[in-house]
Structure 1
């Protein structure tokens, strides 16, 4: 029997509008901003990331401490998740092979170390979260030390509320006294001297206990070598310095947290890729000055609105420099940063 009457083709033409469409309650349901509470979430430390997958340490310091692999939930897709973050994780957190947890939230951060692509870029790039110390590694030679780069590290550390430390490596190749004179007025900067064959591992290690310390440094200064000495199973790649350019070769390509185990306790070493520049475009004028406490005290006598630049009228910094009360190199370093930032809004 036919589906339609052949005698009356015009009246019984099949039309797609005649099809009855079943309602889809899920598709028609209005979206809600409410999200699951995830009361069953566990807290883990983010150790590192690779291609959208995160290594997370569960039950840190407990009897069931173990690593898992996790991905981020969709609601976190616009949030930078970095090494050192404390993440709330749901799903399979057993850590068994082939399992995958899901990060659904990030705990409040105690600190954020950031940098920008350059000084004109005010878009910050988060490097590490929840670190309370920064260990700046610089070589006495091969490659030669760069005081201005160290100044930038110190500005970023102080702006983030992170205590800075300084290690000078390869002291058997050159005397670092002239370089260190640039920082002799910084009472809060602890300095370690390290020869290639005799690094002060016990002293540096003691400073790491109970802390999360982010290691930073120019390529080729021996940062990864120092990390491997402090954490024997770290297996961080090391490189060499190009004899023609004097530049170190980038070896470590990712930021990773490593457990330091010392005689007096444990700590965290957070190794970062070597860099040749460190943009501060996200940091404001006052934060830069605070990173020079010796000069900040002098600048308190400047007139209101003083730019502290070389041509600033009645600038106490320039007067103190001319009178020999402060180191000219320190003033030049500060003014170089401030001058860069005075033109930032022009870009």
Structure 2
């Protein structure tokens, strides 16, 4: 029967179509039932994430062996809701040859020892993970051009202490200004400090402090961070920029976080270069972690009343009383001033 037949009961042997001619579209999901059971990937190999670029991960495997090689990987579908960042140790399967055009697959993220995080601003509790598994933070600050920002350095310190990362301070461009007054703000901290000027970069001393460590470099744009990285790791060839003479701001020269190997006769380490930033939100910080970094003051704080802020106006604060009584010696007041400044930096953040 054709569609123009007037009589539907007419059995026309010349009908052009019947149901057997209809092609059924297969289901896109396939016929196999979905399952939440995932393979264990017992044969997976662990590697270090060196960098991330548009969903592709640069991975180093067989580190420090004759078979060491770099490869490119993508995340497995089961990790689509988990971020993989520079510094992560990950388990991989698939083609691990590292040959051009090959792509391995990241199936697991190893437990992280530390996480350096920041938020977009102080009111944003959504954390942005900058790097994983770093144990040191080198804060690069210029003595001038651009002017050093005490509050930004305080924020770096708060983030480092919260993550359990040991901070180091490097002051560049000391030929342009004396950093002594700026450095007095950090006199109460157990903070290694390096200074450099044009033509006098203490590469050997800084290198010695980086051996056997994974050190994340942070700093305001234009402070000379990329110049320092290139001096420590010449093959890095990180782009450098200049400071705008009108705005006093530096130009962003690094667009992504990347791990660079530091290799010397004395040993090896990792330099993790990050893009320059002009703000560092603290929406995710736990203030208890700041106090823990001041081990001597934290021990005294056990005698503070519940909920003590440890600020100058905190009633019955055991730390304030101990410093006032001189029980912490000459360094006690400076240590307390540094702690209270960092706590105030966080307390004044909107939303806290």
**Smaller-chain TM-score range?**
0.7 to 0.9
Distance 2:309 2:285 in 1: 16
> 2:48 pairs with 30, 45, 55, which one?
45
Does residue 279 of structure 1 match 2:281?
yes
> 1:239 pairs with 238, 241, 262, which one?
241
Which digits, 9 at most, give the CA deviation of each residue in 1:279-328, with x for residues without a partner?
11111221233345576566555433223455544446667899997359
> 1:340 pairs with 338, 341, 348, which one?
348
Q: Which moved more, 1:301-310 or 1:47-56?
A: 301-310
Q: Which moved more, 1:126-135 or 1:304-313?
A: 304-313
Measured after TM superposition, the shift of residue 9 of structure 1 is 4.0
Contact 1:131–1:162 (CA under 8 A) maintained in structure 2:
yes
2:134 match: 131
The change in CA–CA distance for 1:27 and 1:140 in structure 2 (over 3 A counts) is same
1:225 match: 227
1:207 match: 209
1:195 match: 197
Q: Which moved more, 1:64-73 or 1:145-154?
A: 145-154
Measured after TM superposition, the shift of residue 120 of structure 1 is 1.5
Q: How many residues align?
A: 341
Measured after TM superposition, the shift of residue 126 of structure 1 is 0.7
Measured after TM superposition, the shift of residue 19 of structure 1 is 7.1
Contact 1:87–1:105 (CA under 8 A) maintained in structure 2:
yes
The change in CA–CA distance for 1:198 and 1:218 in structure 2 (over 3 A counts) is same
> 2:100 pairs with 88, 97, 122, which one?
97
Which digits, 9 at most, give the CA deviation of each residue in 1:59-118, with x for residues without a partner?
111111111111111111111101111111111111111111111111111211111111
Contact 2:141–2:148 (CA under 8 A) maintained in structure 1:
yes
Distance 1:111 1:338 in 2: 20
Distance 1:228 1:117 in 2: 28
5+ residue gaps, structure 2, are 327-331
Contact 1:88–1:106 (CA under 8 A) maintained in structure 2:
yes
2:30 alignment partner, SS class: helix
Distance 1:229 1:154 in 2: 24
1:72 match: 75
Distance 2:31 2:70 in 1: 41
Distance 2:245 2:300 in 1: 42
1:90 alignment partner, SS class: strand
The change in CA–CA distance for 1:15 and 1:227 in structure 2 (over 3 A counts) is same
The change in CA–CA distance for 1:290 and 1:276 in structure 2 (over 3 A counts) is farther
**TM-score for both structures, normalised by structure 1:** 0.86
Distance 1:301 1:196 in 2: 49
**TM-score for both structures, normalised by structure 2:** 0.85
5+ residue gaps, structure 1, are none
**After TM superposition, where is structure 1 displaced by more than 6 Å over at least 4 residues in a row?**
11-15, 17-24, 317-325
2:329 match: none
